[in-house]
């Protein structure tokens, strides 16, 4: 009897070694694929934290298993939004002025 072989795990995406956001994936390989997504890099490059862009074209994006604290932040972030099956990204850094005015 296979019970939930598709259990999701929480991962942390680091930008140049800085833990930046958390998300859920079924496997490490699946999580690592997020680093290759052009839309994600574009989003990260467009966001500002403490007056500085989160990333640039040369930034190194890496993924690792989330720490207990990061997993708790992820759970807290998704509880507030009641996610669907879509990919939910929970930022671990403060984002400056998200609204475009």
What is the CB neighbour count within 10 angstroms for residue 32? 16
pLDDT in tens, 32-42: 999 999 999 99
Q: What is the pTM of this model?
A: 0.83
Higher pLDDT, 47 or 84: 47
Query: Within 13 Å, how many C-alpha atoms sit on residue 13's CB side?
Result: 29
**If DSSP codes are grouped into helix, strand and coil, which group holds residue 94?**
coil
């Amino acid at each position: 009897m296979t019970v939930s072989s598709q259990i999701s795990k929480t991962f942390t995406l680091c930008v140049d070694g800085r833990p930046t956001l958390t998300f859920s994936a079924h496997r490490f390989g699946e999580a690592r694929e997020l680093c290759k997504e052009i839309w994600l890099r574009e989003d990260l490059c467009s966001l500002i934290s403490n007056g500085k862009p989160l990333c640039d074209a040369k930034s190194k994006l890496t993924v690792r298993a989330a720490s207990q604290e990061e997993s708790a932040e992820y759970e807290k972030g998704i509880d507030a939004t009641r996610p669907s099956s879509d990919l939910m990204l929970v930022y671990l850094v403060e984002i400056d002025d998200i609204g475009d005015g």
